[in-house]
Structure 1
Amino acid sequence: MPPDVCTLPASLRHVHVTEVGPRDGLQNEPVTLPTADKVALVRSLVDAGVREFELTSFVSPRAVPALADAAELVAEVRRIEGLHLSALVPNERGAERALAAGVDSVVLFVSASESHNAKNVNRSVADSLAGFERIARSLEGSDVALRGAIATSFGCPFEGEVSVAAVGRIAQHFADLGARYVSLGDTTGMATPPLVTERIEHLRQVAPTVSPTLHFHNTRGLGLVNVLQGLMLGVDRYESAIGGLGGCPFAPGASGNIASEDLIYLLDELGLETGIELEGMIEAARLAARLMGRELPAQVSKAGPRLATHDADRTLAARG
């Protein structure tokens, strides 16, 4: 008998999936969707069972025009009950805007590499972390939670390798600020299963109070392979974008996130619970493709579930 190459921890039963399509999925697209279309996409995802969204980012509209409607979008989606809405903030001004808009959590993001952080937020890593301390103090006494996100956690498009120690130091900083969840971002699809193992094991040693979230891009085709590696390590939190939308405008070669419907398909086939229905996600992905006016890179929304059948009488047959 061949060895079982997909042994999951017995304790792993439910997986939390955060939909980042409205933020990470749209920030790098040539088409800027109106707020009403973004709301329609969110409602379609909610109908499929999605309850947690990284909805937008309170960055400069000049830097990311596609997210200029951040406050308006939060106000509209806030009317839907039962959702957890988070938003990325790069600095204190962004945090003030996010708090005023009424998000449930703010995500403080920094790159593990100096060069990407300079391109992404025009700051050094040290300056970003110092600003986070001031943001954390401003959140004291509020109901808004603080989360962390570390871009280029598995490699940098400018510097190449990123040390696991650099990722660990930032995770420790987030833990000291009170963040319970820290996302490891695979900004340009440089993650591999060995790197996933190395970083998760290191975080569990240096920041044991942090629950890691994995955020993979499928740039080099290993997105779901890396998810599987994370699952075998017991990681139960993932971020994905409907249709495989996304990319980073400040990283050459960055392409889409792992597709939410592809992720749900994998988790379903592994017998893991998400509370999200695959058929509904396929419908949401098709809506996303119509709104963007192009075919999206996801696979399951094109092929359907594994046991989807077709009419044999209407299928071309070989002759001769």
Structure 2
Amino acid sequence: MTPVQTNNLIDGKQTAEDIKVEIAAAVAKLKAAGHKVPHLAAVLVGHDGGSEAYVRNKVLACERVGFQSTLLRYEDDITEAALLAKVDELNRDPEIDGFIVQLPLPAHINPEKVIEAIRPEKDVDGFHPMNIGRMVAGLPALLPATPSGIVELLSRQGIKTSGKHCVVIGRSNIVGTPVSILLAKNLDNANCTVTLCHSRTENLAEICRTADIIVAAIGRPEFVTADMVRPGAVVIDVGTTRVADATKKSGYTLKGDVKFAEVAPLASAITPVPGGVGPMTIAMLLLNTLRAATGEIYPRATS
């Protein structure tokens, strides 16, 4: 097998760190001016391993930039009504600038109902229909964290997007659909011609081979293989699936949606898993929280 290149890796971890430094500087200015520091709350239901790790990283990131953070934990038998009551309480709490309810939720809780219950001005995940609608209309909004993180990563890496053909694999409301919209926008760091593909797309490999940029967000480990990528393409891997691995102390290995070992030698630039899109998601969540706290997008929430 051809050795995997390393000089074409897109370092999402370092880019996210750069953004955190900028946010920390903004927080320091707020404190110096006598304003309260941004306060992010996270609601975690159950004990999903991936969610536990992700929320823990969010709390650590808050400490890194000088935010206040609150973690609210509930067992997976919490009722939908009780969770919605907590959302309402957070909506009305003037000390909380933004909050997230970590997904996935237990099967008995409707995630759409929970998302819609969050006030748009506190929706720092950027999932609320109002934020999505404003994004589509080109109005200021708290943007979905992972999609905006992908766009920001491409921009800060100096990867040209204007006029390029981008193929997005996956049409979820959390990543695939919103990133396709953002990359097609008439903006300096977008202006792509976007093809949105999914599980029922015919001739998927053929379509992918026409792409200058591939965003793999289908949630299937190692789904994108070398025969789907033309030499020189940029590959953004959004996937993070835990795959059983008895050789690891943790008992699992994180796999992306891209078969990295065979795709990396073809790509002009590629995100690793971990260390690619994941850190950017957290960085953009922090940026949304800062914007919510300062009223940059919406007027400050009132109780």
TM-score (normalised: structure 2): 0.33
